[in-house]
Structure 1
Amino acid sequence: MEEFASFTFIDPDYFEPLGRLPARSVYPDVLAPLLPEDWKLSRFDVWFQAHPERVALQPQGFKIHVSSTAAQAPEVLRRVARECFRAGVTFKFVADPVLLRFLNSKRYARGGSGKFVTLYPPDEATFLSLGEALHQATRELEGPYILSDKRFRDSKVVYYRYGGFVRMTRLKVDGTRSLLIHRPDGAAVLDVRTPYFQLPEWVKDPLPDEPEPEGDDSGLLNGRYQVLEALAFTNSGGIYKAVDQRTGRTVCLKEARPHTETWLGEGRTVDAVTALQWEHDNLQRLQGLPCVPLLIERFQEWEHTFLVTSFEEGEPLAHVRVSEDFILLTRMDDPRHVVRCCVAWRNVALRLLDAVVSIHARGLLVGDISPGNVLLDRTTGALKLIDFEAAQEHGKPSVFSVQWFNPGFRAPARRQVPMLEPFDDFYACGMLLYNLVCPTQNLLELDPKHPVFRMLDAFVDAGLPVQVRSIIQALLDGRVDAARQEAEAWTPSNL
């Protein structure tokens, strides 16, 4: 569902591209008193473009990107536009504040994130002079780091990369198109857009790297953590497996990039660093519970913030459900396999309820229970919950906690409430247990009127013990004690 988020802005029932989102006049109104008479302003895709009449773009070159938070975007646009008008350089900018928040959010692609304004200098001399003018005009401002670019000197908002100015594409076999640029010999090559700065082999960087300041060259984060591998990346930061050189313990590092945001929909966001601080505070409250990671520390390295916890060896239930010894869909005709699966399923159900009840006893509601953030140790049977940035103090309203969820794992009534209740967590538990049998919960988010048990009933008709259905039903109804009692009394071998 995450990869489809941008296609549901326009209509809840039909996928539409972001470019179809109607743009308000917020940013055009900033330009209206500044726009020269011989310039035009036009909308295309997710952008507005401002350009002088009778001036054509070069096909490729060094382009300048200016990043911005949504709060300071009008001022950034005003300052950048003035310099572009003076230099006669075409530029484009994100069409609407909602679109800018999405481009800065965790859900947006890392290679294209953060680019509020894009400028197209016609040659290297203009690139250098305009870049310097922008640097001086925005010196005290800060915005998201544009991962695909290099900073213009020490600016916090002005960046640059080499790439195409005019859209040149090649059709691929899957119907999508590759972006192209041309080498000096005229051959077309891919315009590679990576989440790190990369120049084509024939292009020289016009701004040499500044000397690195002297400091710790051990490669350790915070002087103690040696990263072993990256486990995941989003626009707001990565998750890393590392070794603590002080203790020898394997740990997990969770990163938050400043000025990137967690998207809640409809233009509502929470700063990634703030969300990481909330997770730190929530974990601190839960320390001592065996079902949550051990909190080690929070620190800042360079401009990024990191949260350090113990590394948990379990597998996400999203992986467990598709393992050969757990999957039911293709093995319903094997009674012994069904029994083994039901034994494992029952154990997960009881451990999950124990974990959630113990967290509730500390005064917190989890808020985001889904297959990706519940880990199972297949050897010991131990179960851990991770990702507590959306946890909410019981009885305390929180728009973030209510709106941050995995599609298909929230109770229908949660769409209209200001804060979570214990029922919301147990409903998610029910859907998680349903997901282990039949992972169709995301479809229920798209069509809330679809009969919830239609797919599960097909499994019951094929021989799945009815106790699975009734335990899930009890949790979706909020009858937690009934669900636990039935799970404890049930012996799955009695098929």
Structure 2
Amino acid sequence: MLHDAAFLFADPDYFQPVERTDPGRRYAPAAPPAGWTRGESGVWTYWMPPRVELPEQGWKVHVSSSLDNAALVLDLVSGVCGELGVPFKHLAGRTFFGWLHSKHGSRVQSGKFCALYPPTPQAAHEVLVRLERSLAGIAGPYVLTDRRFGASQCVSYRFGAFRPSYRLQADGSKLPTMRGVDGTEIPDERRPEFFLPAGVVDPFAPPPEPVGESEVSFHGYTFEAVLRHSNAGGAYRARDLAGNARFVKEARGHNGYVGVQDARQRLEQEYLTLRALHAAAPGLAPRPVELFTEWENTYLVTEFVPGRTLTSWMVASTPLIHASADAATFDGYYQRCRRILEQVTEQIAALHRLGYAFVDISPGNVLIDDDDTVRLIDVEAVQRLDHPLGLLSTPGFAPPELRTAAGRAQADPRYVDAYGLAALAQLLIFPMHEVAERSPESLDHLHADLAEVAAPPKPLWDQVVRYRGAVGTPGPS
């Protein structure tokens, strides 16, 4: 995300360099090293001692931090670097911290609040030892690309390039590179796991124990498949000791922020919401099994709901991808769409009667089984109707006015759900949410094109265009 979408960060509509983004509240050491040069590069602020020349590559040291501790951690890092003469950089401001540590942030960049560039392995070891001692007891997110040092919960390291070096690819993209032990150019691989180039040996840790191909099991669950990775944590299919299929959702510590809430806080809230819904209306949401903590992460276990997401169902079922589809085929598909939308609408209405709003209605949160029966999943954003609207939503499936604080403050959660239902209808007809949001008249062209084969039934099409070009937040209906 850091590289692929950086040009969209400064402005939602126009390509802009990330440097034009307002970094928010700026981070800066309270007492910067005297005589050092300060500079800016992308999302980073860097500090260089006088008369220093960085080697091309070496052992990078990273320091992670929770949102609340960032300023204090930076002061300690700055003090150590100043004493040892080690160049370093840190995220320039609160906005960039939120970006890299967000729920949908880059997994290979996340967790890195400060990066240090010791010029030799001996200097790297010295700074690692000093930081481990200075930051003892301070916890930060686990940096997936790194190996933690000693007993620290926020200091880690990896081997990689210090100075930017790229190889231009045939598609115009740039591949980060470095030098192998034989001097040849090799990729500077950024994986969400600790990785050493061929011939490079870790001098800071004992040799790792051999790892077999054994299954992953803990807390009474055997993990069978990864369903989704995210910066906030993974989602898995598992089995309990009795052999029952279970869905397990992971929340990584001090990461996956939405606003000031990290992934673990949201998962705890989701568990309580599931318990309340299950007590009031069993079957309306997945049945909660338990919430537990293992190592530094928290896990929510629920029943495993079979089916495929609404997006997968639409791709597999829509006649639009078949050139030979006739009017009867389209009519059959439209009838199935109406039945699916009716089920989702009924379940949302039941949720409203209980005093809750779903808020984040999106195709990934709707599962369809083999007989077109619908279940709502992922109640992370579900909230009480009488509470201020939360921050979670899916682009294209939430009213555009929610992008501003003022619009969010005025929005009725029931209107947000109604908008989401209309967006689901549009997905089933044809997924062009971003185009329609910016140019509502494009839906007229879509209808004209569909009418050449089989126009959608009027009730279904009326739902698609229900909020076309709407401005403001109408009340519940």
Q: Conserved in 1, the CA contact under 8 Å of 2:248 and 2:302?
A: yes
| Matched residue, 1:45 | 42
| Matched residue, 2:64 | 67
Shift of 1:262: 3.2
Shift of 1:359: 1.6
Instruction: Establish whether residue 227 from structure 1 lines up as the match of residue 219 from structure 2.
Output: no
Q: Which amino acid aligns with 2:291?
A: R
Q: Which amino acid aligns with 1:240?
A: Y
For this pair of structures, how many residues does the alignment match? 461
Whole-angstrom CA distance in 2 between matches of 1:376 and 1:208:
48
Q: Conserved in 2, the CA contact under 8 Å of 1:289 and 1:358?
A: no
Q: Deviation string for 1:323-368 (max 9, x for gaps)? A: 1x32336558611111210121121121111111122222110000
| Matched residue, 2:32 | 34
Change (3 A) 1:281 1:249: same
| Matched residue, 1:10 | 10
Shift of 1:318: 0.6
Q: Conserved in 1, the CA contact under 8 Å of 2:233 and 2:256?
A: no
RMSD after superposition: 2.6
Whole-angstrom CA distance in 2 between matches of 1:34 and 1:109:
29
Q: How does 1:74-89 map to 2 (within 5 A)?
A: 74-89=71-86
Shift of 1:470: 2.4
Change (3 A) 1:322 1:70: same
Q: Deviation string for 1:186-226 (max 9, x for gaps)? A: 111111111111112211111224999xxxx984221x111
Shift of 1:256: 0.1
Whole-angstrom CA distance in 2 between matches of 1:211 and 1:106:
31
Instruction: Establish whether residue 262 from structure 1 lines up as the match of residue 257 from structure 2.
Output: yes
Instruction: Establish whether residue 284 from structure 1 lines up as the match of residue 275 from structure 2.
Output: yes
| Matched residue, 1:488 | none
Q: Deviation string for 1:233-265 (max 9, x for gaps)? A: 01110000111123x2111100000100333xx
| Matched residue, 2:383 | 392
Q: How does 1:246-257 map to 2 (within 5 A)?
A: 246=242, 248-257=243-252
Whole-angstrom CA distance in 2 between matches of 1:321 and 1:167:
43
Deviation larger for 9-18 or 57-66: 9-18
| Matched residue, 1:306 | 299
Whole-angstrom CA distance in 2 between matches of 1:272 and 1:154:
24
Q: Which amino acid aligns with 1:315?
A: R
Q: Conserved in 2, the CA contact under 8 Å of 1:250 and 1:311?
A: yes
* Aligned counterpart for 1:408 among listed residues 380, 396, 404: 396
Q: Conserved in 2, the CA contact under 8 Å of 1:291 and 1:383?
A: no
Q: Deviation string for 1:20-69 (max 9, x for gaps)? A: 324467323x25x33212x2111112111111122110111111001112
Q: Which amino acid aligns with 2:241?
A: Q
| SS of match in other structure, 1:450 | coil
Whole-angstrom CA distance in 1 between matches of 2:46 and 2:445:
49
Q: Which amino acid aligns with 1:430?
A: A
Whole-angstrom CA distance in 2 between matches of 1:35 and 1:243:
54
* Aligned counterpart for 1:417 among listed residues 404, 408, 411: 408
Change (3 A) 1:341 1:109: same
Deviation larger for 7-16 or 185-194: 7-16
Whole-angstrom CA distance in 1 between matches of 2:434 and 2:241:
41
Q: Conserved in 1, the CA contact under 8 Å of 2:2 and 2:100?
A: no
Whole-angstrom CA distance in 1 between matches of 2:173 and 2:331:
46
Structure 1 regions of 5+ residues with no counterpart?
Answer: 482-495
| Matched residue, 2:314 | 321
| Matched residue, 2:440 | 450
Q: Conserved in 2, the CA contact under 8 Å of 1:327 and 1:437?
A: no
Q: Conserved in 2, the CA contact under 8 Å of 1:46 and 1:99?
A: yes
| Matched residue, 2:354 | 362
Whole-angstrom CA distance in 1 between matches of 2:400 and 2:23:
30
Q: Conserved in 2, the CA contact under 8 Å of 1:42 and 1:49?
A: yes
| Matched residue, 1:487 | none
Q: Which amino acid aligns with 2:396?
A: G
Whole-angstrom CA distance in 1 between matches of 2:185 and 2:385:
59
Structure 2 regions of 5+ residues with no counterpart?
Answer: none
Q: Which amino acid aligns with 2:251?
A: A
Change (3 A) 1:162 1:414: closer
Whole-angstrom CA distance in 1 between matches of 2:464 and 2:163:
55
Whole-angstrom CA distance in 1 between matches of 2:7 and 2:223:
35
* Aligned counterpart for 2:426 among listed residues 415, 426, 434: 434
TM-score by length of 1: 0.87
| SS of match in other structure, 2:341 | helix
Aligned sequence identity (%)? 32
| SS of match in other structure, 1:322 | helix
Whole-angstrom CA distance in 2 between matches of 1:218 and 1:184:
34
